[in-house]
């Protein structure tokens, strides 16, 4: 087992300048996968707006985005505060338009179903399903104006279940159903929506939730034996937003080293 899961990995294949004059709205932009998505889109020339609750994390993303081809601006917001996030989407949409919406803010706690209270269930559904609907609906007029697209960051194994994640898998399965339904409804507007299902991505967020022995077991349960890098997820988001993704909509793309097919992340109980 590797002592570090975050060895540098260059996943970049898309061409410089691909997203000049394009604009994105990214939630959870201050850390992990969201930050990597921002940095790659900015590198490709995009004007990216990011949100999240912690301003200092967004500031760090801005620092790292400095000097690249595009721009990064931000404002803190809790995606679970419906009126505030709707107003923010409107503000960004009116100011710079939205070609790409990335619903990345999310997360949960690992717990067996018997230990998830109704309040705990509601929190995870609110963050990972209801807030995604709120943001997506608020972005609709701006996506329609630009014939834009939506990338929903989901989970590997969303269609088969996962021990310790009943609440989160239920939410992400809901997002997949929403994604497919809106892909049908909004096809006439030229809007595409897809879900991306990363396997284990060793971000600080996951490290807080799962200690090292569990991380090792998650990676061992991945048939390819390696975790997903944040850069790989970012490149896939960019690919789906690019002209090459023109006919891709209503999809769940699992980027997980076959974790969703193998012995299974889904069989690793919360410990």
Task: Name the residues that contact ligand NDP, by CB under 6 A.
Answer: 27-28, 30-34, 52-54, 57, 78-80, 104-107, 127, 153, 155, 198, 200-201, 203-206
Q: Does 111 bind ligand LGGBLMCM (CB under 6 A)?
A: yes
How do 192-198 and 47-51 pair as beta strands? unpaired
Nearest residue to 47 via CA among 30, 62, 58? 62
Q: Does 133 bind ligand LGGBLMCM (CB under 6 A)?
A: no
Q: Which candidate, 153, 134, 21, 149, places its Cα nearest to that of 88?
A: 134
Minimum distance from CB of 151 to ligand LGGBLMCM (Å)?
A: 16
Nearest to 68 by CA among 147, 12, 131: 12
Q: Considering the complex, what minimum distance in angstroms separates the CB of residue 200 from ligand LGGBLMCM?
A: 5
Whether the Cβ atoms of residue 238 and residue 199 lie closer than 8 Å to each other? no
Main-chain dihedrals φ then ψ at residue 219, nearest 5 degrees: -70, -40
Host H or E run for residue 135: helix 131-146
Give min distance, CB of 95 to ligand LGGBLMCM, in A. Answer: 28
Question: 188 in the Ramachandran plot: left (φ > 0), alpha (ψ -120 to 50) or beta?
Answer: alpha
Out of 79, 98, 127, 171, name the contact with ligand LGGBLMCM by CB under 6 A.
127
33 binds, among ligand NDP, ligand LGGBLMCM, none (CB under 5 to 8 A by kind): ligand NDP
Distance CA 51, CA 73 (A): 9
106: β partners:
none
Which of 60, 159, 209, 216 touches ligand LGGBLMCM by CB under 6 A? 209
Q: Which residues contact 267 (CB under 8 A, 6 or more apart)?
A: 163, 221
Report the site for ligand LGGBLMCM in 135-164 (rule: CB under 6 A).
Answer: 155, 162
Which of ligand LGGBLMCM, ligand NDP, none is residue 105 near (CB under 5 to 8 Å by kind)? ligand NDP
| Partner touching 117 among ligand LGGBLMCM, ligand NDP, none, CB below 5 to 8 Å by kind | ligand LGGBLMCM
The 8-class DSSP code of residue 192 comes to E
Residues that bind ligand LGGBLMCM (CB under 6 A): 107-109, 111, 115, 117, 119-120, 123-124, 127, 155, 162, 165, 200, 205-206, 209, 218, 265
């Amino acid at each position: 087992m590797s002592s570090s899961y975050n060895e540098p990995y260059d996943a970049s294949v898309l061409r410089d300048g691909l997203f000049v004059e394009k604009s994105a709205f990214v939630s959870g932009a201050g850390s992990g996968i969201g930050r990597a998505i921002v940095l790659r889109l900015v590198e490709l020339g995009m004007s990216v707006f990011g949100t999240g609750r912690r301003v200092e994390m967004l500031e760090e993303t801005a620092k790292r985005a400095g000097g690249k081809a595009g721009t990064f601006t931000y404002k803190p917001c809790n995606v679970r505060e419906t009126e505030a996030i709707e107003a923010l989407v409107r503000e960004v949409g009116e100011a710079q338009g939205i070609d790409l919406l990335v619903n990345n803010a999310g997360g949960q706690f690992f717990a067996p179903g018997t230990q998830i209270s109704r309040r705990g269930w509601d929190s995870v559904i609110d963050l990972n399903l209801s807030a995604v609907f709120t943001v997506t609906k608020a972005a609709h007029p701006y996506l329609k104006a630009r014939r834009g697209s939506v990338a929903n960051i989901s989970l590997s194994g969303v269609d088969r279940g996962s021990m310790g994640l009943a609440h989160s898998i239920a939410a992400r399965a809901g997002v997949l159903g929403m994604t497919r339904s809106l892909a049908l409804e909004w096809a006439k507007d030229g809007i595409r929506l897809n879900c991306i299902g990363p396997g284990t991505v060793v971000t600080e967020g996951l490290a807080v939730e799962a200690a090292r022995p569990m991380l090792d077991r998650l990676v061992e349960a991945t048939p390819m034996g390696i975790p997903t890098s944040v850069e790989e997820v970012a490149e896939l988001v960019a690919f789906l937003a690019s002209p090459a993704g023109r006919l891709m909509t209503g999809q769940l793309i699992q980027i997980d080293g076959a974790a969703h097919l193998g012995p299974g992340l889904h069989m690793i109980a919360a410990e």
